[in-house]
Amino acid sequence: MAESVVDERDLISTKVVLPKVDGSEDIVFVSKKFCHSSADIAIISSDDVQFKLHKKNLAFNTGGFPPLEFARGTNIELEQVNLSERGYILDLLFQFAYPQRYPDVKSLAVDILSELADAAEKYEVYGAISVCDIVMRFTIPTHPVEVFAYATRYNYLDLADEAAPFVLGTPLSDLADKLSADALTGWIRYLAWWDTFSRLWTKYLIQSTMKSRNTICLKGDCLEECTTLITTLGASMVSMKMLVDLTEKISCTHCKPYATALVTAATTKFSGAPKFRTYLRGQPGNTSDVV
């Protein structure tokens, strides 16, 4: 039996059937949360959901809904303004324009969070902007590309710097349509630094391992564990999150001190990596003292 498809509008609105003078019917979707009888403006989403709101709330809590822009209606009929965002996103957005508890943004899927963040920036809904920024930061480990794109789009350089190392390893083709030309150029230059770093760091690891033959076992499970650790160390800064766990899995008391020393060295080397913003500003990275 095929599953029924739920209309997203049914979650946030009530379907109202209005008879027309010619005998036909007009279907209107009215927001369940925003259907104030004292409203002085009706905002219509791209999927025809109607939100009955108050201009003063939009004026006091946003910067993108100036009252004069909407002063074109009459006293007879509620003024209507059409927006390009779908109803589900506007339903979340307008909750930040009224004195009520904010929606649980941290539980949103990342694509919906991104749409909400874009709408908040577009209409300057300050409460939503702040909340989205906080939640985006916590989303870096699981959705770094989306967060990085958002941060570069709105020039949140601290967030971009934090997310950038987690984006390493992402195919350039996956970023091309998500970043502006300036951000993409900066990313390519940032990648060039990491490429040089990776080659120098791998060389350092090989030399270090050769010098430490007497400090690690070259048999069975120990060799496999140490090889995995070294491979991970050479991958990227993203792997730093995995290194402690990998080290703890090395059970051999003879090898463990060497593995721990490698992790410490990696932490020191990675901490000197340039920030992504450096390349947005056109300042070349310096790899002369990478290792």
**CATH homologous superfamily, domain 8-139:** Potassium Channel Kv1.1; Chain A (3.30.710.10)
- What's the whole-model pTM score? 0.75
pLDDT at 15: 86
Tell me the C-alpha distance between 121 and 143, whole Å.
20
232: tokens are 């991970």
pLDDT at 74: 47
Q: Where are the domains of the chain?
A: 8-139
pLDDT at 228: 64
Phi, psi of 173 (to 5 degrees): -65, -25
pLDDT at 6: 63
Q: Helices marked H in 94-219 — which ranges? A: 110-123, 126-138, 144-153, 157-167, 172-176, 181-211
pLDDT at 286: 42
Q: In which residue ranges of the chain is pLDDT below 70? A: 1-6, 65-77, 201-250, 266-267, 269-271, 281-291
Tell me the C-alpha distance between 240 and 247, whole Å.
11
Q: Measuring CA to CA, which residue among 182, 177, 127, 131 is closest to residue 160?
A: 182
Tell me the C-alpha distance between 30 and 9, whole Å.
9
pLDDT at 91: 96
